[in-house]
Amino acid sequence: MESGQQQVNFRPRQAAQYLNVGLSTIWLYIKQGKINTTKLSERVTIITRAELERFVAEAVGSAA
For the domain 9-63, what is the CATH code? 1.10.1660
Please tell me the predicted confidence (pLDDT) of residue 5. 75
How would you label 50-63 residue by residue, b for 16+ Cβ within 10 Å and e otherwise?
ebbeebeeeeeeee
Please tell me the predicted confidence (pLDDT) of residue 3. 56
The average confidence (pLDDT) of the chain is: 92
Confidence of residue 4 (pLDDT cuts 50, 70, 90): low
Statement: residue 36 has pLDDT above 60: yes
- What is the pTM assigned to this prediction? 0.83
